[in-house]
Amino acid sequence: MKRILINLFLMVVAFIIQNCIFPLLPFLSASPNLLLIFTFSLGFIHGKEAGMLYGFFAGLLTDLFGGGPFGFYSLLYVYIGYVNGSFTQYYYEDYITLPLILSIGNELAYNLYIYVFRFLIRKRLDVLYYLKNIIVPEIIFTVVTTLLLYRLFLFISRKLEEMEQRRDSNFV
C-alpha cells in the first residue's frame, strides 16, 4: 500500500516536471513523456494489474489537464499498462534491452493513437510529416530518458521492497 502511494506521488511529481519545467528549457526541441515511462516501467516490473492502476492514474492526470474528451488518455494508458504488464514474465533486473524495445513500441503506439483519433479523423493525411517532426523526436528523447529512469525505478522499487520486508520481519 505504502509502495503504491509513493509511486502515485512520484507520478504527480513527474507530471508537474513534464508540464512546468520542460517547456521552460528552450534547447529541448521535443520532450520525453515521463508518465509513459512511469506506466510502462511499473507495469513491466510489477505486472498487469499494477500497470493498469498506474496507467489509469497517469491517464486521469493527462485528461484533467484539459483538451479533448475526458477519458481519451485514460483508455490508452490503461492498455499500455496492461500490455507492458504482460511482459513481466520476462522481467529480469539487469536486462535493459527489452525495456528499451518496449519503450519504443509504447511511444509509437501512443503517438499513433493521438494521430489517428485527433488528426486523421479530421483528414490530416500527411503521416510522414507528423512522423518526422513530432513522433520520431519524441521517441528518441523518451528512449534516452528511459535509459536513465528505468534504473532509478529499479533502485526505488528494490529499496521499497527491502523496507517492507524489514517491517514484516520486525512484526515476526
Q: Which is nearer to another protein, 83 or 102 (CB)?
A: 83
What is the footprint of another protein within residues 94-113 (CB under 8 A)?
Answer: 111
Give the separation between CA 152 and CA 137, rounded to whole angstroms: 23
Q: Does 85 sit near another protein (CB under 8 A)?
A: yes
Here's the x/- map for another protein, 153-172, by CB under 8 A: it reads as --------------------
Task: Kindly state the cell numbers that stand for 3.
Answer: 509502495
Give the separation between CA 93 and CA 135, rounded to whole angstroms: 29
Ranges of H-type helices in the chain: 2-16, 34-46, 48-65, 72-85, 97-114, 127-130, 136-171
- Say if residues 129 and 52 touch (Cβ distance below 8 Å): no
Q: Does 71 sit near another protein (CB under 8 A)?
A: yes
Task: Kindly state the cell numbers that stand for 80.
Answer: 499500455
Residue selected from 18, 41, 103, 146 as contacting another protein according to rule CB under 8 A: 18
CB 135, min distance to another protein, A? 9
91: left (phi over 0), alpha (psi -120 to 50) or beta: beta
- 42: nearest Cα among 75, 10, 2, 64: 10
Of the listed pieces 3-11, 60-68, 149-157, 162-170, which binds another protein according to CB under 8 A? 60-68
Residue selected from 78, 80, 102, 149 as contacting another protein according to rule CB under 8 A: 78
Residue numbers at the binding site for another protein (CB under 8 A): 12, 16-26, 30-31, 33, 35, 47-49, 52, 56, 59, 63-72, 74-75, 78-79, 82, 85, 111, 114-115, 118-119, 122, 124, 126, 129-130, 133-134, 137-138
